[in-house]
Structure 1
Amino acid sequence: MPTVTYEINILKNKRYAIHARLSDGVGRIFRRKTGFTITKSNWDIKNGLPKANDELEKRKRNKLIELREEIYNKYDLALLDEVEITKIWLDEVVDTFFGMRKATDDDRLLIYLDHYIESILPYKPQKGKKKGVSKRTVQKYHTLKEKLSSFEKHKAKQYYIKDVSPKFAIEFDKYLTEEEKLGPSTTGGYIAALKTMCLYAGDKDDKKNHPKVKNIGVYSGERKIKTILSLDELETIKKCDKLDDSQKIARDWLLLGCNTAQRVSDLLGLTKENLKVVSGSEVIDMSNEKTGKELYIPLFDEVREVLDKYDGEFPPKISDQHFNRQLKKVAELAGLTGNEYGELNNPKTNRKEKGEYPKWKLVSSHIMRRSFATNYYGKYPTPLLMQITKHSTERQFLEYIHKDAIDHVKQFEYEIQKNKVISN
């Protein structure tokens, strides 16, 4: 048989929160805040209820007795209807009893997250004239929803937007770290995305936020290890004569990627139709017709050299998976066998681990965009490079290639010396 009792837990300023405690008689215990608080001196330890020593405490006492009877009645009905008794079930009984919001309303965290993904993100204004967010951002929020859903199951509790507080963020962070085994940069990204959504809900959709949601701390985690292919290494790969035909195609796509800063999904989709002449200049046209954003990438000599191999066209099509598999073999055959400090995924733990690894093992399609940004930094004005890498601020760009404040000094020194040579 079930048993419903009340407990008190210390809050602040010598006040205690009153919790309902449901024991289902088979070893499971569920607790839920009632919303009432009390001083310890007004608590009837023997009966587990507020003392009836003044009108306010008497009303609390009577209300809690009514709630206890309601839980018993709902419990009996749940058994008849074969409804599972859980923490969520207890939450709904208490919410309904006190006339609080139900678990199905649109302030539920997961329900609002669906609304945010489907109805807000596609139209959310960005800097400049752009409307809507990137596919990567949409995917991040879809994954955030999966993680929050798992978190609710782990806690056996449903959450509302108003529940997202600094304490909630810490508990969610702890869950992602300890249960999902995610690294700090990944968990930090989820916390930041969650905070952004809740702030938008409170500001634009008139939802009730937790009063301290702005105090949620966000972080990017420790710096990721920067692995790139230097210009010398790219030259070595370009001159390698040990490759078969399939590996040569992968090698040529790699050279294109490292000289256009395109992600693999965009790179491997390029066709001759992307090659255009705009205002007398030959470019790769990466303009987005949907957003109206123009992006033209100049044909560096290294790009022209690859295109010339294929009579002015791009190399034959290959899949992302095949491309990544071949890249490591290409780098190994090119002699990139020396050890370098980096990160590799451990298939047993499915987490990246830092260490010394042969350089060829660290090569993947993700290396291309950062290689471009790093290799061309200082050779061309940073704003021009940012147009190609799609970084919105110089700070983001410099963090991406791990450049610090002192690098500005070095770049100034380089420009000063260059100008002296030109003037002489």
Structure 2
Amino acid sequence: MATVAYYLRSESNPANIYLRLSVERGKVIKRKSGYVIDPDKWSSDKKGKLPGKKYSVIEKVGFPKVSRTVEDKQEAMRDKLKKLTDSVFDGYNNAVKDGININGEWLQEQIDKYHGKVETVDVDSFVYQIQAYVDFLPRKKLNNGKIGASAGTIQKQKSLKIKIEQYQQYTGKKYKVSDISPKWVETFEKYLFEVDKLNPNTSGRYVKHLKTVCRFASNNEVLTHKKFNAIKGYSVKRDVIYLTFDELELVEKKTFEREALNNAKDWLLIGCYIGQRVSDLLTLTNKNLTVVAGMEMISLKQQKTDKQVMIPIHEKVKAILNKNGGKFPKKIADQKFNRYIKDVCELAGIDEVIYGGKMVKDEKTKITRKQFGMFPKHELVSSHICRRSFASNFYGEIPTSLLKDITAHSTEQQFLAYIGKSSTDSALQVAEYWSKQAANKRKEPQMTVLKEAK
């Protein structure tokens, strides 16, 4: 039988009244009750009991009797403690029924709830459902048979929650899941474009992610808008920025006074010939080198996709390894790599002015956002250019099905979208391949009968 008792821990005036919950033998939890009292008005008579209503788990309530010397004030305190006790026991019974662990954190939550310090949870709230989805993602069953979404996916949903909270603060309203409709999305997009100054692709991703949350809520029997399925995320097609083979040659031939730039240059070249994300590129060591059927390979498991990838070592990569005594270049942090390769490309003369986006800090708001416009190409270079350069440069030279296996895109359609190509481009590639085959066939030497044997 669990019991509640109250006691003081000091003689200071006023003194905090502590609540002691005895759950079972050897398990006693203590927390401040939220009330204070003059110690002179407190009686620790352990015989004092307050009768309580019958509980499913607890039959009676016990705590030290409050002195009734000053009847009105002390009787009021006695009533407050009695009501707090009733509230704690109600929560306790529900917790036992639901199998919830009774600990100090739980008791503090019950006390805070009684004093109105805990906001009532509204499961229909859109922000609440975003958080519920974030909490669910680590145990989500993925299509590849794995359990748990990537850290990147979880972070995107956390970013959505922050964005919706900012929007609610801007509008002065709190939105339920059932409010999220195509019409609501229009006003949300207007905020993203005009107030938050986000580019279309970023806004499109937010729309895509909020629809995912609506689908999650619907699957959990939370009321959603009848037209939420009509909401669609989107992206705006832009020219893919990558380093051509000619530009890579300019980088390769350039030698820098700073060793840090030479080191970054080597990582950049390796990245452009193996097509991996920076998170996988900069963690490579000689342990990733292997030989398969007499061919030198780089073997790695991608951090984002958890896919095992095998990449033949290109002659350019081999030359860098040989230069470094058979080893990969020195380790470098992602942030430094991003900064250094801009300098590398600038000093190598990669300064063609093209349209693209780069991160710019607003001097007034101090907020850094991607700004789009015409810039020298070296200013638009970032670590992601490695993977894009590989995919774009070798498209058409290596079968797309083989390229996507190295970049670890799930489908050819995803790969084509990644390098800014369409299904029409793919069809043209096949047509060009057949045309070359036909031309080669026409050039094949033909046997001619010069003289019949007699």
- Taking the aligned partners of 2:303 and 2:138, their CA distance within structure 1 comes to 15
Partner amino acid for 2:402? L
- Find 2:145's aligned residue among 129, 132, 136: 129
Q: Do 1:227 and 1:367's aligned partners in 2 also have CA atoms closer than 8 Å?
A: yes
Deviation string for 1:52-92 (max 9, x for gaps)? xxxxxxxxxxxxxxxxxxxxxxxxxxxxxxxxxxxxxxxxx
Structure 2 residue aligned with 1:329: 343
- Find 2:308's aligned residue among 272, 288, 294: 294
Match of 2:222, SS?
coil
- Taking the aligned partners of 1:198 and 1:332, their CA distance within structure 2 comes to 46
Partner amino acid for 1:122? P
Q: Do 1:345 and 1:351's aligned partners in 2 also have CA atoms closer than 8 Å?
A: yes
- 1:153 and 2:169 equivalent? yes
- Taking the aligned partners of 1:279 and 1:142, their CA distance within structure 2 comes to 46
Partner amino acid for 1:385? L
**What is the percentage of aligned positions where both structures have the same residue?**
42
Deviation string for 1:261-290 (max 9, x for gaps)? 222222111122222335654322222699
- Structure 1 202/260 Cα, relative in aligned 2: closer, same or farther at 3 Å? same
TM-score by length of 1: 0.70
Stretches of structure 2 lacking an aligned partner (at least 5 in a row): 1-118, 445-454
- 1:308 and 2:308 equivalent? no
- Find 1:208's aligned residue among 223, 238, 246: 223
Q: Do 2:182 and 2:231's aligned partners in 1 also have CA atoms closer than 8 Å?
A: yes
Partner amino acid for 2:290? K
- Structure 1 301/422 Cα, relative in aligned 2: closer, same or farther at 3 Å? farther
Q: Do 1:130 and 1:293's aligned partners in 2 also have CA atoms closer than 8 Å?
A: no
Q: Do 2:300 and 2:309's aligned partners in 1 also have CA atoms closer than 8 Å?
A: yes
Deviation string for 1:332-357 (max 9, x for gaps)? 22121332333333333744343332
- 1:116 and 2:137 equivalent? no
Q: What does 1:236-275 correspond to in 2, within 5 Å?
A: 236-275=250-289
Partner amino acid for 1:144? L
Deviation string for 1:211-246 (max 9, x for gaps)? 1111223321x2233211001110111011345321
Partner amino acid for 2:265? R
Deviation string for 1:101-132 (max 9, x for gaps)? x951333222221221122x223333343443
Structure 2 residue aligned with 1:376: 394
- Taking the aligned partners of 2:304 and 2:354, their CA distance within structure 1 comes to 42
Q: Do 1:383 and 1:394's aligned partners in 2 also have CA atoms closer than 8 Å?
A: yes
- Taking the aligned partners of 2:414 and 2:403, their CA distance within structure 1 comes to 12
Deviation string for 1:356-376 (max 9, x for gaps)? 322222222121111111001
- 1:219 and 2:234 equivalent? yes
Structure 1 residue aligned with 2:437: 419
- Find 1:184's aligned residue among 200, 212, 215: 200
Partner amino acid for 1:298? P
Match of 2:148, SS?
coil
Partner amino acid for 1:228? Y
1:416 shift after superposition: 2.1
1:393 shift after superposition: 2.0
TM-score by length of 2: 0.65
- Find 1:398's aligned residue among 416, 433, 436: 416
- Taking the aligned partners of 2:302 and 2:346, their CA distance within structure 1 comes to 36
Stretches of structure 1 lacking an aligned partner (at least 5 in a row): 1-101
Deviates more, 1:266-275 or 1:247-256: 266-275
Match of 2:284, SS?
coil
- Structure 1 380/237 Cα, relative in aligned 2: closer, same or farther at 3 Å? same
- Taking the aligned partners of 1:112 and 1:351, their CA distance within structure 2 comes to 28
Partner amino acid for 1:412? V
Deviates more, 1:103-112 or 1:258-267: 103-112
Structure 2 residue aligned with 1:19: none
- Structure 1 406/243 Cα, relative in aligned 2: closer, same or farther at 3 Å? farther
Structure 2 residue aligned with 1:60: none
Partner amino acid for 2:372? K
Match of 2:415, SS?
helix
Structure 1 residue aligned with 2:299: 285
Match of 2:274, SS?
coil
- Taking the aligned partners of 2:277 and 2:162, their CA distance within structure 1 comes to 25
Q: Do 1:131 and 1:291's aligned partners in 2 also have CA atoms closer than 8 Å?
A: no
- Taking the aligned partners of 1:149 and 1:211, their CA distance within structure 2 comes to 23
- Taking the aligned partners of 2:422 and 2:124, their CA distance within structure 1 comes to 43
